[in-house]
Amino acid sequence: MSELNKRKKLLVIGAGDFQLPLVQKASETCDVFLAAPVISEAFYPYIKGRLLKDVRDEEAILTFAKDQGIDGVITDQTDIAVRSVAYVSEKMGLPGIGCETGILFTDKSLMRARLAELGIPQLKNRTVSSVDQAVGFYRELCRERQEKQALSDAAKAQETSNNTRNNTGYNIGDNRGDNSADAAKSETSSALPPVKVIIKPLDTQGSRGVQVCADEQEIRKKYEEASRWSSSREVIVEQFATGREFVVESLVLGYEYRTLCIGDTLYFDIPDAFAAKSRIFPTTADDALRRKVLELDEKIIRGFGLRQGITHSEYIMEGDEVYLIETAARGGGVFISSDLIHLSSGLETEQFLVNIALGQQKEMPVIHPQLQYCGYMAFYLPVGRVIRADGIEKVCALPFVHRNQLSKLHAGLENREGATDKTSRLAVIVSGKTREELEANMQEVRNTLQIEIQSPDGTVTGPIWE
Ligand SMILES: Nc1ncnc2c1ncn2[C@@H]1O[C@H](COP(=O)(O)OP(=O)(O)O)[C@@H](O)[C@H]1O
Ligand SMILES: [Mg+2]
């Protein structure tokens, strides 16, 4: 067989539900090798060899990759394999993003440092290595706010006093003696809500350890959990933003940037469960706001020096400003990369990823502006045992339902933890010609799924959709 026609050997790192589409597609043209701690039977028909190791075990994966003589290495929809992919490709001289960029895109503290270098505004934040430092930063934020409030109160008091003078022709403050400022203060200053911060590990995913704190005690109580998930044990303490959230997927080839799609992120109403109940493309934001987010996305991705790949970036608003939460050098999880990018832009995402890993993508692929509406909808199971799981086949047969995780659901399934990190969600990808149609289709999925869970105390409930 000529060198040209020989099947290339591709190593994929990570073997969760969301890497299956990549492995399936890659197996059509390549011999696929897989490295992950657990590899389910679903992958067996598509792979030629496997290594059962933690996806972060760079040395073991490199040795395996050399032994197999791989021609390329890639991952998708997971952050924890990104550094190993960068490492193996760099060490073997294969196409990749380089270790340094791999680390930048997987360390939220380095991301913030780079934003500062690029002059891009960010939410107030600090990376700390002890709970006392975290509390110290929290106190700084409280002090800053108090000072800001005092200034604004003083300005209001001045205005009130000016108005009084103007209205009455004389300064009634004269009769109040030294109490005027205090009186004005009590009129203008309202009780301030507590300063809120979010604490998070530097390098996990799935919102593990991410928690909101509204006072010092809460920081002291929750700090250890955030630190536990951080490989350096360091924690980011960040001003808590309250605005809407966006998700942007983009494509990079030879350092050239293209937006693929921009969507809205909607959350479950569960405390400290920073998991999206749905992500919907395209966003409902008006053109000006959409442009603002996308210009920021391009500036960041270019500024971070990504050579190639799909990116997944999350943004949050505070007031009129848009801020980066995090960016990743791989496509969005929960089938965003495999399904929602394709439904939105027409890109054959997996083929693109295989091509860049092998250095075969010479030209910018065609990217369509938003072809249709689409999104994922996800639900949690409450603690208990599933006693009814009907309608799954019906849902899967619906023409507007795409990839999903419903095959995991069956009567008898036990949910002991009632965990609310993102990895214990089950998701369904849905599309529609219009936003209204998408919403109606999502409703139909909810109505068709007949799921009942019996809790340990005997009560029967449905899945958690909100
Ligand atoms: N500064 C912040 N203000 C408000 N919410 C935030 C902030 N930072 C993170 N979040 C929320 O927490 C979620 C998880 O944080 P993120 O940094 O994305 O961690 P992960 O890597 O676990 O996804 C975000 O999607 C967002 O909803
Ligand atoms: Mg995130």
> Which pLDDT score, from 0 to 100, does residue 101 have?
98
Whether the CB of 266 sits within 6 Å of ligand 1? no
Looking at residue 179, what is its pLDDT?
A: 40
- Ligand 1 atom index nearest CA of 245: 27
Instruction: For a ligand 1 pocket test, name from 207, 247, 336 the mutation site with the most ligand atoms within 8 angstroms of its C-beta.
Output: 207
Spacing, Cα 57 to ligand 1 middle (Å): 26
Q: Is 205 in the pocket of ligand 1 (CB under 6 A)?
A: yes
| All structural domains of the chain | 8-94 (3.40.50.20), 100-119+245-338 (3.30.470.20), 124-165+180-240 (3.30.1490.20), 372-466 (3.90.600)
Query: Is 114 near ligand 1, meaning CB less than 6 Å away?
Result: no
Give tens-digit pLDDT for 363-396: 999 999 999 999 999 999 888 999 999 999 999 9
Nearest CA owner, ligand 1 atom 11: 274
Q: Is the CB of 82 under 6 A from ligand 1?
A: no
CA of 368 to the centre of ligand 2 (A): 26
- Please state the φ and ψ torsions of residue 147, each to the nearest 5 degrees: -65, -40
- If you measure from the C-alpha of residue 244 to the centroid of ligand 2, how many angstroms do you get, rounded to a whole number? 14
CA–centroid distance, 68 to ligand 2, in Å, is 34
Nearest CA to ligand 1 atom 14: 207
Rg (CA), the chain: 26
Q: What is the mean pLDDT of residues 343-349?
A: 98
Q: Tokens in use for 290?
A: 């959409």
Across the strands, what pairs with 253?
Answer: 256
Cα(109)–Cα(389) distance, integer angstroms: 43
pLDDT tens digits along 426-449:
999 999 999 999 999 999 999 999
pLDDT tier, 423 (very low <50, low <70, confident <90, very high otherwise)? low
| pLDDT above 90 coverage of the chain, percent | 82
Question: Which of these ranges, 144-148, 150-154, 268-272, 415-419, has the smallest mean pLDDT?
Answer: 415-419
SS3 percent helix, strand, coil of the chain, rounded to 5, is 40, 25, 35
Looking at every residue in the chain, the average pLDDT score rounds to 92
Task: Indicate if ligand 1 lies below 6 Å from the C-beta of 247.
Answer: no
> Which pLDDT value is given to residue 166?
60
Query: Average pLDDT for residues 312-326, to the nearest whole number?
Result: 98
> Residue 245: is it exposed, middle or buried by C-beta count within 10 angstroms (0-12/13-18/19+)?
buried
Q: Is the pLDDT of residue 406 over 90?
A: yes
- Mean pLDDT, to the nearest integer, of 415-435? 81
Q: How far is the CA of 345 from the centre of ligand 1 (A)?
A: 26
Is any atom of ligand 1 closer than 6 Å to the C-beta of 195?
Answer: no
Residue nearest to ligand 1 atom 15, measured at CA? 207
Q: What whole-number distance in Å separates Cα of residue 235 and Cα of residue 228?
A: 9
Q: What is the largest CA-CA distance in the chain?
A: 102
Please identify, by atom number, the ligand 1 atom nearest to the C-alpha of residue 240. Answer: 3
DSSP H or E segment with residue 108: helix 108-117
pLDDT value at 31 more than 60: yes
Mutation pick for ligand 1 pocket among 80, 124, 210, 239 (CB with most ligand atoms within 8 Å): 210
Determine the pLDDT at residue 274.
Answer: 83
Mutation probe of ligand 1 site: the residue of 200, 330, 425 with most atoms within 8 A of C-beta: 200
**Residue of 111, 198, 239, 240 best suited for mutating to test ligand 1, as the one with most atoms within 8 Å of CB:** 198
Report residues near ion ligand 2: CB below 5 Å: 314
Q: Where are the alpha helices (DSSP H) in 123-215?
A: 131-168, 173-176, 180-188
Ligand 1 center from residue 398 Cα (angstroms): 33
CB of residue 209 inside a 6 A radius of ligand 1: no
Q: Is 80 in the pocket of ligand 1 (CB under 6 A)?
A: no
Give the number of whichever ligand sits closest to the CA of residue 275.
1
Residues 124-152, mean pLDDT to the nearest whole number? 96
Using pLDDT thresholds of 50, 70 and 90, give the confidence band for residue 306.
very high
Q: Which residues contact 350 (CB under 8 A, 6 or more apart)?
A: 21, 22, 24, 25, 26, 76, 338
**pLDDT, tens digit (0-9, with 9 covering 90-100), for 94-113:** 999 999 999 999 999 999 99
Q: Using 50, 70 and 90 to split pLDDT, how confident is the model at 169? A: very low
Residue 170: predicted pLDDT: 39
Q: Is the CB of 272 under 6 A from ligand 1?
A: no
Q: Which ligand is nearest to the CA of 276?
A: 1
The SS3 call for residue 318 is strand
Q: Stretch 63-73: mean pLDDT, rounded?
A: 98
Give which of 250, 337, 311 is closest to 23, Cα–Cα: 337
